């Protein structure tokens, strides 16, 4: 089961999930933890879901109208945008507020911008930005943000070197720092380093928290080592310093599903559901929907969905979770109905939602439906994302409709965002086809269009 999805906020501690739980907002000030005021400015920005649409004109217009926007409001809106994975808009707002001298950046602001630059432009640009930060402003927050960036990009050597640098500088080594590194080891399969680092925590007197134990639990779940997973759960339950939450049991459920113990997984999911409270309700429901789908429990998927709808306002991530889960269960008709609900639900338009249905069509050999859906969306003025065209191109290659494949992958590349890369296999097939057809100029044009993308692996927009 792939846990790398575009959920908002906290996710189970697997792969990039832990990093998302400990993103830079963990270091932020109280003003950044407050919800953005639901004023006209936020209502103007919120519907602009397309990352290719600039929000700067909206901000400029707000000022032209003689209105005031405070640093607290800006920080809160940046936090909100990040929470909905609108990283490009969040970065644009961060740059806008400093470019227009509305605020002098604090170390926390710089840490957030560092994280956003990494998300939007990649780790190299994040490193360049870090180098521009004056040494006197390089705090635990900014170093922690860079560490998160390395963990997100799975750069183990760089992460270890940075932690060593932090030790040399005498920066406070909180459980958070160790947890990021521990989770990175879990993500890349270097499980032998986990115990050694946890032993170092003991030696340094650094208290292990729920997340520390959850990382170890997640590592065992990834290995389908159910015996060690059960021992870890027991230790957590017996430790008075550890408060069990829905996420702990969700991790165990995932491990049982991978190991094929569905009954045990369902028991863990019931325990998880009983602990869903507070601000993470939305994320918890979305993940339970995904897990029940992996366990093949369609009735439970719909039960959680109905419970979710009755208790929470639905955002785009709710729909992507449900559509993808129903697609996994082969319920294409159900997925189509959820897309219809989304289209009339009043949420901001984001093509990543209907893209889940396009992916489902392609995965199930329903190419005509995928083509029809895309055509209708374009007629309505919608702009398909790179992933949509990329999946369609792969389908065309599979059935040897190479002219269509070349056209689709070209559109995918033209629509790409920074960091997105096309399927290496699909690109190779298209280039080989053009060579066989003797279209030398087309090959050269194609390679030029690809730029640095050719030879890289796929990065989905989902």
**Per-residue confidence (pLDDT) for residue 20, from 0 to 100:** 38
In this prediction, residue 16 carries a pLDDT of: 36
Contacts of 389 (CB under 8 A, 6+ apart): 408, 409, 411, 412, 415
Q: For residue 340, tell me if it sits in a domain.
A: yes
What is the distance in angstroms between the CA of the first residue and the CA of the last residue of the chain?
15
Domain count, the chain: 1
Q: What percent of the chain has pLDDT over 90?
A: 45
Q: What local confidence, expressed as pLDDT, does residue 460 receive?
A: 41
By the 8 A CB rule, do 96 and 63 touch? no
For CA atoms 301, 3, 392, 83, the dihedral sign is: positive
In a domain, 353, yes or no: yes
Tell me which residues of the chain have a pLDDT lower than 50: 1-38, 453-462
In a domain, 357, yes or no: yes
Cα separation of 337 and 366, whole Å? 16
The whole-number pLDDT of residue 39 equals: 52
Residue with token string 């607290």? 72
Q: Which two tokens stand for residue 138?
A: 């390089």
Angle between helices 386-398 and 352-363 (to 10 degrees): 10
Q: Is residue 343 part of a domain?
A: yes
DSSP-based helix, strand, coil % in the chain, nearest 5? 70, 0, 30
Residue 393 lies in a domain: no
Q: Is 268 helix (H, G, I), strand (E, B) or coil?
A: helix
Please give the structure tokens belonging to residue 222.
């990834």
Give dist(CA 358, CA 352) in Å, integer.
Answer: 10
Query: Is the model's pTM score more than 0.75?
Result: no
Asked if residue 341 belongs to a domain, the reply is yes
pLDDT 10s digits, 258-269 = 999 999 999 999
- In angstroms, the CA 272 to CA 284 distance is 9
The reply to whether 326 falls in a domain is yes
pLDDT at site 101: 66
pLDDT of residue 414: 86
- DSSP character string of 327-396: HHTT-HHHHHHHHHHHHTTTPPP-THHHHHHHHHHHHTT-HHHHHHHHHHHHHTT----HHHHHHHHHHH
442 located within any domain? no
DSSP 38: -
Segments forming the whole domain that contains residue 296: 280-375
């Amino acid at each position: 089961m792939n846990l790398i999805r575009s959920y908002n906020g906290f996710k189970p501690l697997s792969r990039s999930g832990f990093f998302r739980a400990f993103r830079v907002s963990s270091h932020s000030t109280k003003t950044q933890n407050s919800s953005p005021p639901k004023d006209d400015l936020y209502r103007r920005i919120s519907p602009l879901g397309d990352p290719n649409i600039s929000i700067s004109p909206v901000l400029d217009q707000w000022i032209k109208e003689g209105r005031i926007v405070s640093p607290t409001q800006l920080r809160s809106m940046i936090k909100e945008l990040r929470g909905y994975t609108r990283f490009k808009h969040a970065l644009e707002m961060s740059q806008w507020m400093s470019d227009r001298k509305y605020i002098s950046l604090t170390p926390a602001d710089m840490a957030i911008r560092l994280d956003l630059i990494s998300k939007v432009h990649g780790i190299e640009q994040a490193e360049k930005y870090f180098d521009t930060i004056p040494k006197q402003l390089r705090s635990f927050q900014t170093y922690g943000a860079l560490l998160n960036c390395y963990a997100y990009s799975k750069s183990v050597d760089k992460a270890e070197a940075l932690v060593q640098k932090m030790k040399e500088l005498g920066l406070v080594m909180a459980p958070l720092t160790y947890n990021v590194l521990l989770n990175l080891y879990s993500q890349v399969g270097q499980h032998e380093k986990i115990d050694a680092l946890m032993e170092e925590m003991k030696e340094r007197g650094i208290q292990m928290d729920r997340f520390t134990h959850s990382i170890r639990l997640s590592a065992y779940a990834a290995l389908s080592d159910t015996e060690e997973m059960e021992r870890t759960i027991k230790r957590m339950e017996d430790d008075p310093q550890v408060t069990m939450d829905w996420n702990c049991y969700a991790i165990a459920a995932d491990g049982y599903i991978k190991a094929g113990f569905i009954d045990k997984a369902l028991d863990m999911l019931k325990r998880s559901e009983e602990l869903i409270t507070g601000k993470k309700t939305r994320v918890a429901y979305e993940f339970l929907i995904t897990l029940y789908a992996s366990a093949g429990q369609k009735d439970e998927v719909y039960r959680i969905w109905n419970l979710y709808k009755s208790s929470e306002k639905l955002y785009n991530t709710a729909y992507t979770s449900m559509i993808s889960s129903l697609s996994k269960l082969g319920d294409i008709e159900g997925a189509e109905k959820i897309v219809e609900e989304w289209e009339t639900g009043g949420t901001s338009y984001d093509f990543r939602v209907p893209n889940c249905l396009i992916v489902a069509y392609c995965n199930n050999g329903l190419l005509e439906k995928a083509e029809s859906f895309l055509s209708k969306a374009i007629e309505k003025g919608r702009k398909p994302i790179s992933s949509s065209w990329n999946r369609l191109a792969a389908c065309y290659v599979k059935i040897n409709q190479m002219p269509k494949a070349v056209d689709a992958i070209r559109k995918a590349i033209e629509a790409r965002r920074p960091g997105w890369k096309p399927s290496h296999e699909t690109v190779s097939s298209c280039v080989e086809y053009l060579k066989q057809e003797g279209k030398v100029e087309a090959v050269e044009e194609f390679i030029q269009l690809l730029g640095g993308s050719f030879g890289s692996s796929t990065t989905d927009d989902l």
